[in-house]
């Protein structure tokens, strides 16, 4: 029998695991230059990301530690905000529901070298704590999110700046945009939870959500281990990082969207990550 959960009664479907595995310093050193190009394999298509090994080595090492451990296998995009980001890395689908939270490694030091423009990938973190990124990542959908206060999000200065550690290349944003275009629902602790082949009418009718409705990332794999493959890219530098940070309110107003949902912290009664209101 296919397992499912009901959108109208979300409390029963989320299963959080709070196990935390700490990365040793040696692991960070050995992973720092182990790859530059990775492929996101999703149910809506594949796309490639060049990682900035040499300029954001700690963040890349952190991300690759999860990749090499296959921690991102069968994870989901659990948050989508129009013209803002898609976010994943925190929750796994093991063939049946409820979802299982991905175990976190030790937090990584912030490396706000590059500007958070469209097509960049950065790590989510806790509001008010620049050095709190663990397993969750997000891909930016709009250039304005970097610096335009009128747009509501200033990722280059908020909370110490968000660490861009790679860039979607080729036609990859076609796939990212297809994920971002999925219908979004509020499900349990999740706001903007993207679902495939599921409508507002289905929600009203209390139609159960199944694994076939999830925005599944089947795996993230290394394609090219040459740390110089990103040498042809010219990502924009974060020129605002030394300016006074925007107020990080930890969960209200437009900046309330800047703290990305953190694995396990819901069960601990703490605030979530890309500052969720």
Cis check: omega of the bond before 268, within 30 degrees of 0: no
And the tokens for 209? 């959500």
204-230 per-position pLDDT tens digit: 999 999 999 999 999 999 998 887 778
Residue 134 has pLDDT above 70, yes or no: yes
Residue 202 in contact with residue 163, Cβ under 8 Å? Answer: no
Residue 63 in contact with residue 102, Cβ under 8 Å? Answer: no
What angle (nearest 5°) sits at the alpha carbon of residue 91, between those of residues 85 and 93? 120
Distance CA 231, CA 227 (A): 9
Strand intervals (E) in 202-275? 208-210, 216-224, 258-259, 274-275
CA distances from 143 to 71, 139, 155, 263 (A): 29, 11, 10, 27
Residue 85 in contact with residue 136, Cβ under 8 Å? Answer: no
Q: Residue 104 belongs to what domain range?
A: 4-275
Eight-class DSSP state of 213: G
Radius of gyration of the chain (CA): 18
For 188: left if phi > 0, alpha if psi spans -120 to 50, otherwise beta; the answer is left
Q: What average pLDDT does this structure show over 109-130?
A: 96
CATH number at residue 168: 2.40.100.10
**pLDDT value at residue 230:** 81
Q: For the chain, how are helix, strand and coil distributed in percent, rounded to 5?
A: 20, 30, 50
60-100 per-position pLDDT tens digit: 999 999 999 999 999 999 999 999 999 999 999 999 888 99
Reference 65, options 222, 217, 226, 229; nearest CA is 222
Reference 112, options 59, 151, 161, 149; nearest CA is 161
Strand intervals (E) in 102-212? 120-123, 137-140, 164-169, 183-187, 190-195, 208-210
Question: For strand 216-224 and strand 4-6, is the pairing parallel, antiparallel, or unpaired?
Answer: unpaired
Residue 242 has pLDDT above 90, yes or no: no
pLDDT band at 254 (very low <50, low <70, confident <90, very high): very low
Residue 157 has pLDDT above 50, yes or no: yes
**pLDDT value at residue 35:** 63
And the tokens for 118? 């469209």
Domain count of the chain? 1
Eight-class DSSP state of 237: B
pTM of the model: 0.80
CA distances from 189 to 7, 185, 192, 255, 260 (A): 11, 11, 10, 18, 12
Q: Any idea how long the chain is? A: 277
CA distances from 15 to 11, 76, 244 (A): 9, 14, 39
């Amino acid at each position: 029998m296919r397992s499912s959960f009901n959108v109208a009664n979300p409390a029963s479907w989320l299963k959080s695991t709070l196990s935390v595995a700490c990365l040793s310093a040696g692991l960070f050193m050995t992973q720092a230059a182990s790859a530059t190009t990775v492929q996101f394999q999703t149910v809506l298509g594949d796309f490639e990301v060049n990682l900035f090994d040499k300029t954001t080595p700690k963040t890349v090492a952190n991300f690759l530690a999860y990749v090499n451990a296959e921690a991102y296998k069968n994870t989901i995009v659990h948050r989508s905000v129009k013209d803002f980001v898609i976010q994943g890395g925190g929750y796994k689908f093991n063939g049946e529901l409820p979802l299982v939270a991905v175990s976190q490694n030790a937090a990584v030091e912030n490396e706000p070298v590059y500007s958070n423009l469209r097509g960049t990938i950065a790590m989510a973190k806790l509001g008010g704590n620049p050095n709190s990124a663990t397993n969750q990542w997000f891909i930016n959908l709009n250039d304005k999110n970097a610096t335009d206060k009128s747009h509501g999000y200033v990722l280059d200065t908020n909370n110490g700046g968000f660490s861009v550690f790679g860039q979607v290349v080729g036609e990859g944003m076609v796939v990212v945009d297809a994920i971002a275009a999925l219908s979004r629902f509020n499900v349990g602790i999740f706001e903007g939870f993207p679902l495939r082949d599921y409508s507002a009418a289905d929600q009203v009718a209390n139609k159960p959500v199944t694994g076939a409705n999830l925005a599944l990332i089947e795996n993230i794999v290394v394609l090219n281990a040459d740390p110089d493959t990103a040498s042809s890219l010219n990502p924009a530098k974060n020129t605002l990082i030394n300016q006074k940070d925007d107020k990080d309110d930890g969960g209200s107003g437009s900046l309330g969207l800047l703290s990305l949902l953190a694995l396990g912290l819901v069960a601990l009664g703490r605030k979530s990550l890309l500052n969720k209101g």
